[in-house]
Amino acid sequence: MKKLWEKLQQIKHWEIYAAVIVLAIMLGIYFSSLHGGRKTSEPEHVATVTNVDNSYAGQLENKLQNVLGCIAGAGHVAVMVMTDGAGSAELAYDLQEKTITQTGANTQEVKTTTVDKNVVTKNGSPVVLWTNPPKIVGVVVVATGANNVGVRLNLLHAVETVLGDQNVPIQILSGI
């Protein structure tokens, strides 16, 4: 070790060479951390479904994530859909009308009609005629390729198309 130190001291301006090597190592570490350590050979159309939610919003998130992940240049995509609640359902009812005729003291007939409204059930569960999904109040899309303006516009147009005429705020963000 002592001999190596003596040889280094014989080199003119060895401190400058050492500083350059240390600087190169530091820059390499800095730029590799900016890149996120991702492999560049990763295909851009990766779309992983991690949401196993069976709700309306969860199903919409999964569908959007799968479609948006297929857009050229989008890269890895994550989607979040916010709603105002659980929506509503219209149940089936069995209406039974009952008429009761009573004769009063002065032989006058009085008819009383009542309607009983009972929920129709099948196997112990109510029969649902139709459901109204909850109102979507916002959508957030995070995509690794969203830093490209063209990709960002394609993502935005795709979400707008899926949502239809709803006036919903949509945020497209670039991810890592």
Least confident of 31-35, 143-147, 166-170: 31-35
pLDDT given at position 18: 79
Residue-wise pLDDT tens digits, 93-140: 888 888 887 776 677 777 778 888 888 889 988 888 888 888 899 999
Residue-wise pLDDT tens digits, 47-68: 333 444 458 888 999 999 999 9
Q: Are residues 80 and 12 in the same domain?
A: no
Is the residue at 142 inside a domain? yes
Domain range for residue 104?
92-126
pLDDT given at position 42: 42
Q: Are residues 141 and 165 in the same domain?
A: yes
pLDDT given at position 61: 93
Domain count, the chain: 3
Is the residue at 45 inside a domain? no
CA dist 41 and 70 (Å) reads 17
Within the chain, where are the H helices?
2-10, 14-34, 56-68, 149-163
Residue of 123, 125, 128, 130 lying closest to 93 (CA atoms): 128
